[in-house]
Structure 1
Amino acid sequence: MSIEAINWALNHAPIPADRKDGSTLAITLIALANHAGPDGRDAFPSVERMMRYTRLSRRTVQRSLRSLEELGLVRKGNTRVRDAHIEEANSRPQVYNLVLSARQSTGSEDGRQDDAPSTSEGRQQRPLGASASTGRGVNTTPETSFNRPRNRPLSSAPAGPSTAQPECGQCDARPGDPISARVIWTDIDHTNSTPCPRCAPRRFGGTR
């Protein structure tokens, strides 16, 4: 028995996965490997012994051996080693050498193995979205658009009644009137007026 030969039969022998008899070929190959040397050579178990190993019929074992030979996984070997162990010529089984160099393809077209870590896993992932800087230190982040109202900065200029000083109480404006009502009427008919010089904002003519 050879651990090397059995390991090859279990893990590396390129038995086509789409064959209906794939499992039968696999167990037959393992039965052969159980009698091969470390180099896969000189395996000559009897068909009866392989039937006991595999629980297959004689015809199925013989057919599987032919299929393994057609696939290039086994070859007929040198009979001298067999003849040295078995004297009776009519009970001598066929000698097979396992082709340990035959390996199932586990890689991609460029020769990498599927179970090897992908080179992309070792590279730093680039974050999605806009990058804040390039390799040369130039900031490439787009500037904030002020087309949207929520992005516009708040104006520091005073606006509206809340920023104006209270009514002075000496003009014609009453509490709660708009700033434009802070005027002094210059005629009885209330047709002409002038902004109050005490409490009207400057834009209405007052001195504030």
Structure 2
Amino acid sequence: MTDAQEHMVLLAMAYHADPRGDNVFPHQSTIATMARCSVRTVGRRLAAMEARGVIVRGDQRLVEHLGRGHRPVVWRLALERRRPSDNLSPP
């Protein structure tokens, strides 16, 4: 994690994910509202997380029913990259 805004963007994405971290497809404006930042900031943070492999593109067929101009990107949280020290359970 690089900064607080990226952390908030990732938390907003996790809120929309299924239990395996898949099928994340809120619009960037929804993420921006939840993370309390601009849509441009969301776009930059998503690009940075994708470049580092924190998130990966998911199954885009999930949004085929939406019009071309209204399809959000479907993401998957790369939970397999989680380090053992990232376990949030109490000691």
TM-score range relative to shorter protein: 0.7 to 0.9
1:40-89 CA-partner distances (Å, limit 9, x unpaired): 111000011111101101111100001111121100111111224xx222
Residue 71 (structure 2) pairs with residue 76 (structure 1): no
Aligned length: 87
Give TM-score, length-normalised by structure 2: 0.85
User: Which residue in the other structure is 1:99 paired with?
Assistant: 78
- Structure-2 separation of matches of 1:27 and 1:105: 22
State the Cα RMSD in Å.
1.6
**Structure 1 residues without counterparts, runs of 5 or longer:** 1-14, 107-114, 117-208
Q: Which amino acid in 1 is paired with 2:81? A: A
Which letter does structure 1 place at the counterpart of 2:43?
Q
Gaps of 5+ in 2: none
Aligned twin of 1:58: 39
Q: Secondary structure at the match of 2:62?
A: helix
**Larger relative contact order (Cα-Cα within 8 Å, sequence gap ≥ 6):** 2
Alpha-carbon shift at residue 102 of structure 1 (Å): 1.4
Larger radius of gyration: 1
How far is the alpha carbon of 1:35 from its aligned partner?
A: 1.1
Task: Point out the structure with the larger helix share.
Answer: 2
Q: For residues 92 and 56 of structure 1, what CA distance do their matches in structure 2 show?
A: 21
Distance between the aligned counterparts of 2:75 and 2:82, measured in 1?
A: 18
Shift of 1:104: 3.5
The answer to whether 1:35 aligns with 2:16 is yes
User: C-alpha deviations, 1:156-195, integer Å up to 9, x for none?
Assistant: xxxxxxxxxxxxxxxxxxxxxxxxxxxxxxxxxxxxxxxx
- TM-score normalised to the size of structure 1? 0.39
Cα shift at 1:105: 5.5
Q: In structure 1, how many angstroms separate the alpha carbons of the residues matched to 2:59 and 2:38?
A: 26
Task: Give the Cα separation in 2 of the matches to 1:104 and 1:34.
Answer: 20
Aligned to 1:44: 25
Task: Give the Cα separation in 2 of the matches to 1:31 and 1:104.
Answer: 21
